[in-house]
Amino acid sequence: MEINESLQDILSAEELVTRAFYETFLSRHPEMRVFFEGVDLDRQAVLLTMQLILLEQNYNHYNPATRKYLSQLGRRHQELGISADAYPAFRECLLQTLQQYHADAWDETLERQWHSALDHAIEMMLAGYEPRDASRSLPDSHTEPA
């Protein structure tokens, strides 16, 4: 399975896969709950699902508009007080959620593709952070799209 097929499966599902992500993320990282007080998690799951579309498109065809958008999104996250240190936990929980969703269809190729797409997105988001946090970066696990 390739990332585009994975995304189509996710978009075709009756239940939002990303809703399970928030359950996992907030149970494993209760310190992040403060950022979701008063947030409609069903709405947030829809927004994250739409972000997956953007990530998949950017994985296959980089475009400057996506970079600008994700940079602005990163700036907004920084304004909310979300540290750059939170992104690896977010990535790992999302990858685990996708793995659980795809079950036997999940393989090394699909994991590498989603990991790379998420790393690119996180890098673009962190580019929107003010310099005091921008020096933080992801581990050297970044790979270029295939």
- Each residue's pLDDT tens digit, 66-119: 999 999 999 999 999 999 999 999 999 999 999 999 999 999 999 999 999 999
- Predicted confidence at residue 131, as pLDDT, reads 82
Q: Please give the domain boundaries of the chain with CATH numbers for all domains.
A: 3-134 (1.10.490.10)
Indicate the average pLDDT of the chain: 91
| Residue 36 near residue 26 (C-beta atoms within 8 A) | yes
- Predicted confidence at residue 132, as pLDDT, reads 65
- Each residue's pLDDT tens digit, 51-74: 999 999 999 999 899 999 999 999
Apex 76 CA angle, 72 and 77, nearest 5? 115
